[in-house]
């Protein structure tokens, strides 16, 4: 393994704690505003998207708040280990439970985004969107996705080494690892990194298969239908594009550091400074997601500007919204 340790400020717990604290000061009020806007300011014409929108937002917000205010994880890659310096550690919560909660909250993005696109597919493409049988099938679908998400990492946690042995493994694989890290009272190693990679890889394939299916079906419908008015079709396309941008841009933010972290499993390169910056960038993606959501949808943007007192952008009390039918009239 390639091992780089500079013993500088960017590799310190103090730097990571300061960065995450600074993010939390911005994120907590912004996420609160975002939740308020969705719950109170979503117009009736967007009502079918309200729950899906709120679920995605809360999923992003919970992970951000957990990381920046409760856990403060110091992650050591490529050996899938680390420790926590946050509130949960100070009150005695076992680091294994903290690790499970943090990783699971991250994976919960998958079913939340799947539900986001399934919602558009259901109300635009399906003829039976509001039937009892369709609602039952959707509930079963969501339950299966969330059940898998909550259990996908169980094999990795069942394969954990004894933590006294884990310290020896860590020093053997990363000889430059400082003793203050290895001997930290909360040091924790999850186990076989390849098992984690396989489990998360299979989970990612499952989620992407569903998202791409719903995305392709919806695109085929809104860009191929000919029977409805041109105005309705245009509004449906604009709204769907806005939804895609809302999901895609934060995804790009999170994928850059995530790709680096995953690449360390193959390159065997340890660099704590790069890992710290990756954790900070991943944790900030919820911030970008909320900002994009509030800006890209006109009802949310108008309501936000009014709350912030920026009235020169709000010329009237009328909010222009995307008018669109939520149940398809034909396939």
Fold classified for 2-313: Rhopdopsin 7-helix transmembrane proteins (1.20.1070)
- Please check whether residue 273 is in contact with residue 8, taking contact to mean a CB–CB distance below 8 angstroms: yes
Q: pLDDT tens digit string along 109-153?
A: 999 999 989 998 998 888 888 889 999 999 999 999 999 999 998
Gap between the Cα atoms of 261 and 75, Å rounded: 10
81-84/188-189 β-pairing: antiparallel
Alpha-carbon distance 301 to 34, whole Å?
A: 10
Nearest C-alpha neighbor of 23 from the set 295, 286, 247: 286
| Reported pTM | 0.83
- Looking at the predicted structure, is the pLDDT value of residue 176 above 60? yes
How high does pLDDT run on average in the chain?
84
pLDDT at residue 1 in the model: 64
Instruction: Please list, in sequence order, all residues whose beta carbon lies within 8 angstroms of the beta carbon of residue 253, skipping any fewer than 6 positions away.
Output: 281, 284, 285, 288
Instruction: Please report the pLDDT score of residue 80 as a whole number.
Output: 81
Give residue-wise pLDDT tens across range 74-100: 888 888 888 888 888 888 888 889 989
2-56 per-position pLDDT tens digit: 777 788 899 888 999 899 999 999 999 999 999 999 999 888 888 888 888 899 9
Q: Is the pLDDT of residue 328 over 60?
A: no
């Amino acid at each position: 393994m390639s091992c780089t340790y500079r013993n500088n400020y960017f590799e310190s717990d103090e730097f990571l704690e300061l960065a995450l604290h600074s993010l939390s000061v911005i994120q907590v009020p912004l996420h609160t505003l975002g939740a308020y806007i969705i719950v109170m300011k979503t117009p009736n014409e967007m009502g079918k998207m309200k729950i899906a929108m709120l679920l995605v937002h809360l999923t992003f917000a919970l992970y951000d708040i957990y990381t920046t205010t409760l856990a403060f994880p110091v992650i050591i890659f490529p050996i899938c280990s680390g420790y926590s310096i946050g509130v949960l550690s100070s009150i005695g919560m076992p680091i294994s439970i903290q690790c499970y909660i943090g990783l699971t909250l991250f994976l919960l993005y998958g079913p939340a985004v799947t539900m986001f696109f399934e919602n558009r597919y259901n109300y635009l493409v399906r003829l039976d969107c509001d039937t009892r049988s369709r609602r039952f099938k959707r509930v079963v679908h969501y339950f299966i996705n969330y059940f898998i998400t909550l259990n996908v990492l169980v094999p990795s946690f069942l394969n954990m080494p004894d933590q006294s042995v884990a310290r020896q493994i860590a020093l053997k694989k990363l000889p430059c690892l400082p003793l203050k890290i290895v001997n930290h009272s909360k040091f924790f190693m999850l186990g076989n990194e390849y098992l984690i990679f396989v489990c998360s890889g299979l989970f990612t394939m499952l989620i992407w298969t569903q998202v791409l299916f719903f995305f392709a079906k919806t695109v085929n419908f809104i860009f191929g239908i000919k029977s409805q008015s041109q105005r309705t079709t245009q509004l449906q396309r604009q709204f769907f594009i806005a939804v895609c941008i809302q999901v895609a841009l934060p995804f790009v933010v999170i994928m850059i550091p995530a790709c680096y972290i995953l690449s360390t499993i193959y390159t065997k390169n340890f660099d704590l400074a790069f890992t710290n910056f990756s954790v900070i960038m991943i944790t900030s993606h919820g911030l970008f997601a909320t900002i994009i959501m509030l800006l890209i949808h006109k009802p949310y943007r108008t309501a936000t500007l009014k709350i912030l007192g920026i009235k020169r952008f709000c010329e009237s009390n009328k909010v222009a919204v995307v008018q669109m039918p939520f149940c398809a009239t034909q396939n």
